[in-house]
Amino acid sequence: MSYYLLEIGTEELPASFINPAAESLKESFSNLLTNKGIGFGDIQTGGTPRRLYLYIDNLNEKQDDKEEEIMGPPANIAFDENGGLTKAGKGFAKSKSLDEKYLKRVKTDKGEYLAGKRFFKGVRTDEFLQENVASLIKSIPFQKSMRWSDKNLKFARPVHWVISVYNGNILDIELDGIKCSDITYGHRFMSEGGVRVKDFDSYCKKLLENNVVYDFDSRKKLIKDQLKRIQEENNDLIVQIDEELLDSVANLVEKPFAVLGSFSEDFLELPDEVLITSMKNHQKYFYATDKNGKMSNYFIGVSNTKPKDDTIRYGYEKVLKARLSDAVFFFENDKKILLENRVEQLRDVVYQEKLGTSYEKMERFYKIASYLSGQLASDRIENTQRVAYLCKGDLMTEMIYEFPELQGIMGREYARVQGENDVICKGIYEHYLPRFAGDDLPETKEGCFVSIADKIDTICGCFAIGLVPTGNNDPYALRRNAIGILNIIRNKNFRLSLKRLIDYSLEVLSEKISFDSKEVSEQIYDFILLRLKNILHEEGIPGDVFDAVKGYDDIVCLQSAAEAIARVKDGEDFEVIATSYKRISNILKKAGWQRKDYDISLFQSDFESKLDAAIKEKEGRINVLINNEEYKSAMDELLGLRLVVDDFFDNVMVMDKDEKIKNNRLSLLNSLKSVFDIAADLSKVKNA
């Protein structure tokens, strides 16, 4: 068995590019080798800021031989009456370079045809790699690629060297003027010159000797261990190890060295989020708290070189001090202008060309939030309206211009400074929640109402002007907004009509633009319901069960009804009842029957009378249970119809010769169907 080693040496790659590029390299080699019939064992890929590498072990030394059957003309054209090849048959063989001794008749669904076999001898793996490696390197997808210097190669950063070694031999490959070799380079600052490698073991060993920790997970572990050591050496500190930041920093260095730094305690007057954002997002530092969780004035940066003195620490501190000084300046300046005065400035900011300014958007969701509060908590209307009015004011502050990720957070802080009550301050921050999957949900009702209002206005506005998400294209994050609305409603058990919420939001929007309200409302309703269907499917509710209950306009009721059906769906009683329901529906549909009134005097058997009694009994009970939202009990009542329905179908001929009796029985069945319909549309459930 053979092996292959590839390394692409570059200038420093962006941290976010490295892991996806390495994974793409693995996938493209795997797909190509598999498709071309070259067996292989394990593929390892990885990268550092200065390199991407790939290693394949247990490679077959050549491509698998294969044969291909090629279909020719019909046999009656390809062969003469004596069984010999006609001119057409010989022409086929010649055009496909087929040996006549491998030609034969084959039977197909379309008749008998001439067919021939062509044999392909597999090429050697080293020859195959020489032909394909350069194109695979060029096909690595990056978020951004460009041409460097006068070379044609488009890559994330300039390529300086390429290792391409097969079984210890250098493959004769050239990548836009760069000739492949067996020489790699160690750490930019902590190694000397190139080193020759023979295989993956020597490659890994030489890199480590030259201060390159080639493995991503190993770099992460080193960083984490160093952070923990610093924490142990400083008993009063708790280093906050953020996994997202850890991933990023691990791809910023080839060999990590954690450095403890500090800043003036005066900066602790800034909100914690400003400090954290400055350190984490802008400088890639880990922040530390005291043992009580209070922000400290210490941080940890990770250097790509081993500190010889305090120069690196001083540099880290100097850069952070400048950024925090700017933040103090912005914070103090912003506090001089009241948030409500900032809100007026939103009149000059275009939210969307057709949907108007950010101020007009605020006016719309202000009305929607007021509507929601009126429906769900009328005692919160005043606070809700205040939150809605102020919540976008911080968009006009200097702090948000510099730190856009702090919107909502700074609104909360400025509102607090200016004397707003705690509920309003918290609601301003919470109206942005949830911002992503798994994010926190608003805690205050005011935050919930404004969050839902803002999100539903965004959805309605975009649908009304035709900005409907397609594929991966969702620039206004409408899917995320819809999921946010649903999760708030479900989490807070808000009892409201989704259709009325959509229609009211569109009514408010219609004061600004014209559109087909009915069509847009239906589109939005279906769009949001599809998100709910996906959410519930992830929670174990089958899609067919969702379809059975999607007639419920109340999200909480819909979910409860779905859970009740899912609980009994796989039971025998439910299967029989659901099958009977579909049978009833088909009979009524075929007969075109819609009437429900029937005459008990036309009953011909006790089975009809028993079904009539069951309908009247169950209809009342199920209505009460559904109104009380006791869906599990309602389903149990439906399942209780099994025996009487079975007896009816086993002993009664619905389509009687007597027209009156037949019509009476159809009405009886339609009444029975109506009882089922109170709870769900069982025709949608697939297992019956």
pLDDT band of 397, cuts 50, 70, 90: very high
Distance CA 163, CA 83 (A): 59
Region 144-158: mean pLDDT is 83
| 431/252 Cα distance (integer angstroms) | 35
Tell me the pLDDT tens digit for each residue of 438-463. Answer: 999 999 999 999 999 999 999 999 99
What are the percentages of helix, strand and coil residues in the chain, rounded to 5? 55, 15, 30
Give the residue among 134, 153, 135, 154 at the shortest CA–CA distance from 144: 154
Distances (CA, A) of 18 to 203, 217, 595: 19, 13, 68
| 508 exposure class (CB count in 10 Å sphere: 0-12, 13-18, 19+) | buried
**Lowest mean pLDDT, pick from 67-76, 236-245, 369-378, 495-504:** 67-76
Taking a C-beta distance cutoff of 8 angstroms, is the pair 648, 580 a contact?
no
Question: Cβ(515)–Cβ(464) under 8 Å?
Answer: yes
CA–CA dist 91, 72 (Å, integer)? 10
Cβ atoms within 10 Å of 541's Cβ, excluding its own: 20
Radius of gyration of the chain (CA): 36
pLDDT (mean) for 577-594: 90
Identify the residue whose tokens are 């605020």.
362
Average pLDDT over residues 209-222: 98
Kindly tell me if the per-residue pLDDT of 147 is higher than 90. no
Does the global pTM surpass 0.85? no
User: What would the pLDDT profile of 348-365 be if each residue is shown by its tens digit?
Assistant: 999 999 999 999 999 999
d(CA 316, CA 173): 43
Q: Over range 168-181, report the average pLDDT.
A: 93
Orientation angle between helical segments 125-138 and 15-35, nearest 10 degrees: 140
pLDDT at 584 over 60: yes
Rounded to an integer, the average pLDDT of 431-437 is: 95
Q: What digits encode the pLDDT tens for the residues 284-329?
A: 999 999 999 999 999 999 999 999 999 999 999 999 999 999 999 9
Q: Write the secondary structure of 422-453 as one string of H (helix), E (strand) and C (coil).
A: HHHHHHHHHCCCCCCCCCCCCCCHHHHHHHHH
Q: What pLDDT is attached to residue 163?
A: 98
With tokens 């160690």, the residue in question is: 186
Confidence (pLDDT) at 611? 94
Report yes or no: 113 and 103 within 8 Å, Cβ to Cβ.
no
Whole-number Å distance between alpha carbons of 673 and 680: 10
In this predicted structure, what is the pLDDT of residue 119?
A: 77
CB 424 within 8 A of CB 390: yes
* 601 pLDDT more than 60: yes
Residue 454 amino acid letter: D
- Cis omega before residue 307 (within 30°)? no
Residue 687 has pLDDT above 80, yes or no: no
The mean pLDDT of 136-154, rounded to a whole number, is: 85
Mean pLDDT of the chain: 94
Parallel/antiparallel/unpaired status of strands 154-155 and 356-357: unpaired
Question: Which of 63-67, 209-213, 590-594, 680-684 is predicted most confidently?
Answer: 209-213
Closest to 11 measured CA to CA, from 185, 202, 138: 185
Question: pLDDT confidence of 150, banded at 50, 70, 90?
Answer: low
Percent of the chain whose predicted confidence (pLDDT) is above 90: 84
Give the model's pLDDT for residue 120: 77
d(CA 632, CA 625): 9
624 sits in which H/E element: helix 606-627
**C-alpha 583: how far from chain center:** 40
Tens digit of each residue's pLDDT (9 = 90 or more) over 629-685 = 999 999 999 999 999 999 999 999 999 999 999 999 999 999 999 999 999 998 888
Per-residue DSSP letter, 281: I
Domains of the chain: 2-62+124-209 (3.30.70), 66-120 (no CATH), 216-334 (no CATH), 350-539 (1.10.3210), 569-684 (1.10.730.10)
- More confident: 98 or 440: 440
Confidence bin at 110 (pLDDT 50/70/90): confident
Query: Residue 688: pLDDT above 70?
Result: no
Which residues, 6 or more positions from 204, have their beta carbon under 8 angstroms from its beta carbon?
Answer: 214
pLDDT digits (tens, 9 = 90+) for 217-272: 999 999 999 999 999 999 899 999 999 999 999 999 999 999 999 999 999 999 99
How far, in Å, CA of 596 to CA of 668, rounded?
A: 6
* For range 569-579, the mean pLDDT: 87
Q: Token pair of 254, please?
A: 């080839």
* CA separation, residue 453 to residues 169, 362, 456, 508 (Å): 66, 10, 5, 11
Whether residue 346 contacts residue 357, with contact meaning beta carbons closer than 8 Å, is answered with: yes
Do residues 662 and 654 touch, judged by C-beta distance below 8 A? yes
- CA-based nearest residue to 56, from 35, 27, 36: 27
pLDDT of residue 560: 94
Average pLDDT over residues 37-56: 97
Query: Two tokens at 372?
Result: 């929601």
- Name residue 372's amino acid: L
Residue 452 near residue 372, CB atoms below 8 Å: yes
Mean predicted confidence (pLDDT) in 98-115: 86
Q: What is the pLDDT of residue 571?
A: 86
Q: Give CA torsion, residues 198, 202, 203, 209, to 10 deg.
A: -140
Q: Which residue has the higher pLDDT, 345 or 192?
A: 345
Q: Write the DSSP symbol of residue 254.
A: S
Q: How far from 618 is each of 513, 539, 605, 610, CA to CA, in Å?
A: 49, 31, 20, 12
pLDDT surpassing 90 at residue 411: yes
HEC assignment per residue over 154-215: EECCCEEEEEEEECCEECCCEECCEECECEEECCCCCCCCEEECCCHHHHHHHHHHCCCCCC
Integer Cα distance of 460 and 454 in angstroms:
10
Two structure tokens written together for 593: 């029957």
Q: E-strand spans in 310-424?
A: 350-352, 356-357
Give me the residue label for tokens 């009979």.
587
What span, in angstroms and rounded, lies between the C-alpha atoms of 431 and 440? 11
The answer to whether 671 touches 615, Cβ cutoff 8 Å, is yes
Give kind and range of the element (H or E) at residue 635. Answer: helix 631-639
Q: Residue 631 and residue 624: Cα distance in Å, rounded?
A: 10
| Ranges of H-type helices in 184-310 | 200-209, 216-233, 243-250, 272-277
DSSP 362-402: HHHHHHHHHHHHHHH-GGGHHHHHHHHHHTTGGGGSHHHHH
What is the sign, positive or negative, of the torsion defined by CA atoms of 551, 557, 558, 563?
Answer: negative
Burial group, residue 548, by CB count within 10 angstroms (0-12, 13-18, 19+): buried
> How do beta strands 286-289 and 194-196 pair?
unpaired
One-letter amino acid at 530 equals L
Sign of CA dihedral 392, 397, 399, 401: positive
If pLDDT is split at 50, 70 and 90, which confidence band does 465 have?
very high
Q: How confident is the model at residue 94 (pLDDT cuts 50, 70, 90)?
A: confident
